[in-house]
Amino acid sequence: MSWLDPTRPVPDVRTALPGPLGQAIISADTAVTSGSLPRAYPLVPRRALGSVVEDADGNLFLDCNAGIAVTSTGHCHPSVVAAVTAQAGELLHYSASDFYLPIYSRMCAALAATAPIDGPVRVFLTNSGAEAVEGSLKLARYATGRPYVISFFGAFHGRSYGAMTLTASKAKYHQGFGPLVPGVLHAPYAYNVIDSVTGARSHDEEETFTYLEDVLFRYQVAPTEVAAIFVEPVQGEGGYIVPPASWLHRLRALCDKYGILLVADEVQSGMGRTGRMWAIEHSGVQPDILISAKGIASGLPLGAFMARAELMEKWGAGAHGSTYGGSPLPCAAGLATLSVIESEGLLGNATAVGAQLLDGLRSIWDDHPEAVTDVRGVGLMIGIELRTPELAERVQQRAFERGLLVLECGESTIRMSPPLVFTPDQAATAVKILGEVFGSLGG
């Protein structure tokens, strides 16, 4: 019998947070770990199942961040655990860069079958999203012979040097690390206009294309020297911004006009989070390269970039590699994750429970317009925008104190990204707790 019911809807916080055991662990942690780690609040997880996390002191939390959108099939899904356990008894590691690892090619084939790209697709497996971004950056430049790439204001693509240079969600991610990788330019993302009275957002997609054509391509770089445009089909760290489908269509057309590759970074938005396997599928737009990580292996370190075969076939042996990328255990978890998403109908669940969450959160917006300025999202990728960053921090902390795990993103947004197994009862509980949190903001 399980130690708890993974569908349990009600958190159970019995100690001050952190509790005594948690305090001891935090004290030991701060003595030896890097000061660069941006801890959100003093959660000390001990174990977890489904959408429920237990901390070191036995407090139970309802997880609406899924380890930063990672545990797609829920914590410790029995099928994923069984696959990892079986693989661990056979082969822990052999490098697929230098040898033919059967489970590596199986994982590549399974991913390629999901890719929203017509024709043959080839796949490279990595350890993380940042590594997949770096590999995509290399491939785009190599395959096109062009030096420049473009990403968007508000984008987050990772923390390694190329990925960090593409990132433009906050200046702090660049601060102190210059000079950055050359040849990277930025443009407005589905330009978001914020009403000065209501605080609500609206889209002015003309801003993106006016800026690209009349500024970047006129004054900074010829479009025929641009290798790729990197785009998040739904911006993640930038605030869970959902662009209009028409904006993505225009972006695809612009890339086609100038022979530029369109690279979809689906590290956070992919693997079913939006109710489709890939968020870009909502628009019907096809990328040339697609990047995945986070939810791809339900918590084990695995990432991937997949591309039209003709692009991946342009570089030869040794042009790119990875000692650990696509190692046996993460591949076993990845194959099990794909199987669970399909067999348990998790895309449909993300759509249905996501709609329930959106309705509930919009009711909170109606009740608290003094605090909330927007509720937006698709599937189980939902953002609640508040009037100030300080408000977002208070909501995040007070939700934690009540047993609900959420995270900030953007300037002042709370993200809701629970596991894809999130139940209607759990969604109702999350909305109830957040309603209580917003009701307490005056005090």
pLDDT per residue as tens digits for the range 370-429: 999 999 999 999 999 999 999 999 999 999 999 999 999 999 999 999 999 999 999 999
- Looking at residue 278, its pLDDT comes to 98
Q: Are residues 202 and 306 in the same domain?
A: yes
Q: Of 326, 343, 360, which residue sits at a domain end? A: 343
Give the number of domains in the chain.
2
Residue 323, Cβ density class (10 Å: 0-12 exposed, 13-18 middle, ≥19 buried): exposed
143 and 40 share one domain = no
Q: Which of 343, 373, 402 is the last residue of a domain?
A: 343
127 close to 134: Cβ distance less than 8 angstroms: no
- Averaged pLDDT, 68-84: 97
Query: Within 13 Å, how many C-alpha atoms sit on residue 424's CB side?
Result: 5
Q: Which tens digits make up the pLDDT trace of 52-65?
A: 999 999 999 999 99
My answer on whether 160 and 181 are in the same domain is: yes
Q: Is the pLDDT of residue 220 over 60?
A: yes
Tell me which residue has tokens 């790119």.
320
Alpha-carbon distances of 249 from 315, 322, 379, rounded to whole Å: 29, 34, 21
Position 5 pLDDT exceeds 90: no
Residue 8: inside a domain: no
Q: What span, in angstroms and rounded, lies between the C-alpha atoms of 126 and 71?
A: 18
pLDDT value of position 367: 96
Mean pLDDT over the full length of the chain = 95
311, 343, 375 — which closes off a domain?
A: 343
* Residue 11, pLDDT score: 87
Do the Cβ atoms of 59 and 12 come closer than 8 Å?
A: yes
**Domain membership flag for residue 11:** no
My answer on whether 355 and 319 are in the same domain is no
Residue 409 β-bridge partners: 413
pLDDT category, 99, cuts 50, 70, 90? very high
Does 5 fall in a domain? no
> pLDDT category, 205, cuts 50, 70, 90?
confident
pLDDT at 1 over 60: no
183 has a pLDDT exceeding 90: yes
Mean pLDDT of 315-328: 96
For residues 209 and 268, membership in a common domain is answered with yes
Same domain for 423 and 287: no
Domain presence at residue 12: no
Does pTM top 0.85 for this prediction? yes
Whether pLDDT at 35 is above 80 = yes
Residue 6 domain-assigned (yes or no): no
For every residue of 50-62, DSSP letters joined together read BTEEEETTS-EEE
Strand partners, 153: none
Kindly state whether residues 335 and 350 are assigned to the same domain: no
* Token digits of residue 351: 């759509």
User: What average pLDDT score do residues 87-95 get?
Assistant: 97
Tell me the backbone φ, ψ of residue 131, rounded to 5 degrees: -65, -40
Quick check: is 333 in a domain? yes
Domain CATH number, residue 379 = 3.90.1150.10
Share of the chain above pLDDT 90, in %: 92
Q: Which uninterrupted H or E stretch holds 290?
A: strand 289-292
Same domain, 427 and 399: yes
* pLDDT, tens only, 262-311: 999 999 999 999 999 999 999 999 999 999 999 999 999 999 999 999 99
Which span out of 8-12, 252-256, 438-442 was modeled with the highest average pLDDT?
252-256
Report d(CA 394, CA 397) in Å as an integer: 5
> Are residues 88 and 235 part of one domain?
yes
DSSP letter at 160 equals: S
Instruction: Give every CB contact of residue 23 below 8 A, 6+ residues apart in sequence.
Output: none
pLDDT attached to residue 10: 75
User: Does residue 40 lie in a domain region?
Assistant: yes
Angle, in degrees to the nearest 10, between helices 78-88 and 328-343: 150
Shared domain for 339 and 351, answered yes or no, is no
Beta bridge partners, 199, equal none
Single-letter residue type at 80: V
Do residues 175 and 193 both lie within one domain? yes
Domain range enclosing 108: 82-343
CB 18 within 8 A of CB 440: no
How many C-beta atoms lie closer than 10 Å to residue 156's C-beta?
26
Per-residue pLDDT at 192: 63
Do residue 259 and residue 367 come from a single domain? Answer: no
pLDDT beyond 70 at 193: no
**CATH number of residue 215's parent domain:** 3.40.640.10
Q: How far apart are CA 264 and CA 437, in angstroms?
A: 35
Q: What does the pLDDT average to over 195-208?
A: 70
